[in-house]
Structures are given as structure tokens and as C-alpha cells.
Amino acid sequence: MALNLNDGVDVSPTQNTLHQTNNPQAIKRPRGPAADRCRVERITMPTRLEALERDSDGLADAALVPAILQEPAWVLSGMNNMAIDGLETLAVWMPDDTPTGDQTLVGLVTVRSAPWQWGMPAGPLRSAVHHHVFDGTPLLHHRHGQEALTALFRQVRSPFLLESVPDGDPFGTVLEASARASHRRIEEFDTFSRGVFTCDRSAEDYLKDTHSRNRRNKFRRWRKQLRGEGTLELQALEIGETLEPWMAQFLTLEAKGWKGRNGTAIACTASDTAFFRYALAKLHGQGRLMFWRLMRDGEPVAMLYGMRHRRHVSFGKITYDEDHARQTPGALMLLDVMDWTYGRGDIDFMDACGRPGNHMIDALWKERLTVSDWLISAPDRSSAAFGAQCKAESARRALRSTAKKVYHNVKALTRKGD
């Protein structure tokens, strides 16, 4: 059921207009309440986004919730290497109360336009979520997040579809308040939960608290089998260490498995490979790339990378050697990573950022983060009109799900026939 957030709220309409410019100082700043004084800039040129990296770093340090995939390092890789139509970054600027007239970046969200949706020639602005970007949470300032999102909703008149964003506080509260203040309605779709880990104990203590003795014994047995007569150790990429060998090993290991056979491994396409190398090199240069590998006799049997924001780590992709699948090297590596982060003491939280059905991580990590997709109406959309859009969106999702099932069933039958 759609939420009507406009009842009993008296908000004067803003006279602000949307600006698209490469010069943030060229716009006369509106006066009045904080949200009305903000300015939204639409960015489609990589050079402009590169110029915002220092501002973006300041915003990331003051973020309401971590939103690493909205930062230039990741977005620029998409702009430069992926053929994504209608990709743009919306930046929200708030004027400082100083005589110099400086501006502070208080919001960033990357979206893509939908050329046709719900039987209409212009769909919503959607989170730029794809197989390298798995979280559409806007990057918002922790003190000015509501003003930033309200300004965005007032100045950009399109409906929005924010995908894979966290439910509840603090972002959910800001989203509802901003929709209410901008006379928009919202509806939630496709809620699911993904595994997370609070780094407050060792892997052994965690397993004792959350898994049966039988399950713990299986992990010990698998580790012994995987080690065999050789060595088994976790290695972590150090700041300043050469990154190229790690990336090459990851690409080779992933392409060796089922993703390579299906043509979905990163190394299978030049654009995916370029995206991967650019984004990871950028993060490594900033000292924010986390990269681990489980080595068996000097060869990787599992690898994982993640992105760090202060004391929070968001996982990227994981891969493992299928020759040792019976010993679950991916799960064994995760247990070692849990010990590694607990021993360091400077990381509080790890988010697997998994899709629905990530059985390995969901089975290992019992803590959950609930995420949803949110459809936000255009301003002042009637309940009946928005209800029709919600029904059309539900039908679109059901049709897409059915098409995926048919595709995978046909593909499975084709493999059996071969």
C-alpha cells in the first residue's frame, strides 16, 4: 500500500529551478529555509565529477550512512567504462553562512533515466544499480541529509526509484520526511535481508554463539582437508603494495569457475575488466581497498575484495577455486577475515552486500540488514495516479522474474543436452 506522507503538512512550494552547469559558483543561491537554499547540479561529464573528489571525500567523512558506491571512484569507473544510457550524478550543494559564499556538498546520488516504463515514454530516475553496483543508497550529510534529499525531490520533478537501500533509521526516516516535505508519495518493493557481521568477537566465538557443534566440526574438518599436507594462510593487501598481481589472480580465478563458463565473469568482457581495474586502483590509491586471498601452498583458492568507509567495510565480489568446492574455501576465507578484522580492532562492521539467495554468506552470518526498493512519486501526484504506477511497477517486476526463471530453465536444459 502506498504511503501518503502529505496529510496535515503545510509546505510552501519552492520557486527554485534545476540547474545543469559545470560551475557551481555560477548560480545565484536562493534564500530561505535550508532545503530551499540548496542547489542541485546534474553531472554527466566525468571531468566535472573528477573535480568533486575533494568535496566528495568530505561528504563521505560526514555521511549519514556509508554509501561508497555513490563516490566518484566507483561512479567514474561506470561513466568511463560502461555503456550505461542516461547515467548522471545529482549533486546537492548547500551555501555556507559566510561572506565568501562558499558551498558545501551535502548530497550525491547517481541515477539513470528510464526511457520507457509503465507504458509511458518517460520513466523514473532509477538508482544506477548493475552487476558492479549493488546498493543505491544516496550519499547524504549526517546533519543536512534531510535538507539535501528534500531539495533533490523539489528541484528534480521526476519520480524516483531508489533500489537496494536500507530500511529503518537513519536513512528510512530521512526518506519519509523528505518525501513528505516535497509532497511526494512513496511505496516499498522487494524487501529482503542480507548478511552482515559486527566485528566484536573472534570467528571461533561467533561460531559458538550462532552455529551448532556439528556445523563447527564440519568447518574444522573442511579446513584440515583443504590444507592437506601443505599450508593454508590468509593474506591481506597492504597499503602501498602493488595491486596488479592481486587483480590478475582474481580475474583468473573467477574466469576458471562457473561464471567463466556462463560468460558472466569480469574477464569475459573488456568493459567489465576496465571497470574493475579502474575502480580498485582508485580505491587502493586512497587507502580504502580491502583485498584478501586464502592461499593454499602459494596458490589462491578463494579471494574477496571490499571497500572501506571509516570503520565500515562493504564487500564487493568473492570467488573461489571450484576444484576445492567440497571444502567451502569461500566460507573458510570469510572466517579468517572475521578473525583478521577482529584482531585489528579498527573495523566495526562488515556488510556482505549480497543479492537475495546468497546461501553461503547467509548461512554463515546470522545478523541481517533489511533493504528495499522505494518508488517515490512525482510531486503532488494523486493517490489514484500513483496507485496505478505502483500496480504497473509490480506487474513489471513479476514479468521480469518470470522471464528470468524461463531463461535459467532453458539454459539448464541446454547444458543437459550438451
Q: What is the pLDDT of residues 211-265, one digit of tens each?
A: 999 999 999 999 999 999 889 999 999 999 999 999 999 999 999 999 999 888 9
Distance CA 405, CA 332 (A): 31
Distance CA 22, CA 50 (A): 11
Instruction: Give the pLDDT score at 13.
Output: 29
Whether 354 and 195 have beta carbons less than 8 Å apart is answered as: yes
pLDDT higher than 90, residue 66: no
Using pLDDT thresholds of 50, 70 and 90, give the confidence band for residue 4.
very low
* Stretch among 113-122, 165-174, 189-198 having the lowest mean pLDDT: 113-122
CATH topology of domain 200-347: Aminopeptidase (3.40.630)
Whether 369 and 192 have beta carbons less than 8 Å apart is answered as: no
pLDDT tens for residues 176-185? 999 999 999 9
pLDDT higher than 90, residue 199: yes
According to DSSP, residue 120 is labeled B
Place of cell 512519486: 377
Q: In the structure grid, which three cell numbers stand for residue 409, read together?
A: 530453465
Using pLDDT thresholds of 50, 70 and 90, give the confidence band for residue 103.
very high
Picking from 315, 293, 413, 323, the residue whose alpha carbon sits closest to that of residue 360 is 315
Give percent of the chain above pLDDT 90. Answer: 58
Using pLDDT thresholds of 50, 70 and 90, give the confidence band for residue 10.
very low
Instruction: Give the pLDDT score at 113.
Output: 83
Sign, Cα dihedral of 47, 49, 53, 54: positive
pLDDT tens for residues 261-315? 988 899 999 999 999 999 999 999 989 999 999 999 999 999 999 999 889 999 9
pLDDT higher than 50, residue 9: no
* Stretch among 10-24, 197-211, 373-387 having the lowest mean pLDDT: 10-24
Instruction: Give the pLDDT score at 6.
Output: 37
* Count of alpha carbons within 13 angstroms of residue 373, beta-carbon side: 18
pLDDT higher than 50, residue 348: yes
Domain boundaries, the chain: 3-193+370-412, 200-347
- pTM, two decimals, is 0.83
